[in-house]
Structure 1
Amino acid sequence: DAGNIGYQEMFQTFNMGVGFVVVCRQRSADRVIQSLRTDGLKPSVIGSVEEGHGVTLGEFGVHYDSY
């Protein structure tokens, strides 16, 4: 807010990463999450992969056709 920069520009300009990411089939998600919790980690589901073009960050209202 202080810099008056929109999410679109922030995600394009800055490293807005989340750290370590595990990608798995949806049907395996519960087992993967439980395994990570057993190891003392705090996993979160942060998105999904769908057929189409580009990347959409829904909660921020941002869409990129290319990056």
Structure 2
Amino acid sequence: MPQLNTYVHVQDHTGENHEFGPGSEIPAWAASAITNPDVWEIPPATVLDKPDSLADEPETAKRAPRKATAKASG
């Protein structure tokens, strides 16, 4: 489980600010938004490597996959 060594403020997809610090449980969406490597006591595994990484992300943030489009010939 990832652990922070300091307090951070993270903005979610709706613009709401959240504060996390040492001892906080860090949701996957927040861990992927924290870009400063110096704030981690125990860094998270790469969130994008896990297929269920959206499990604790708010439902409204999930998006349907894009449809493939045919390349126009001409």
- Normalised to the residue count of structure 2, the TM-score between the two structures is 0.19
Structure with higher helix content: 1
* Structure that is richer in strand per residue: 2
Structure with higher Rg: it is 2
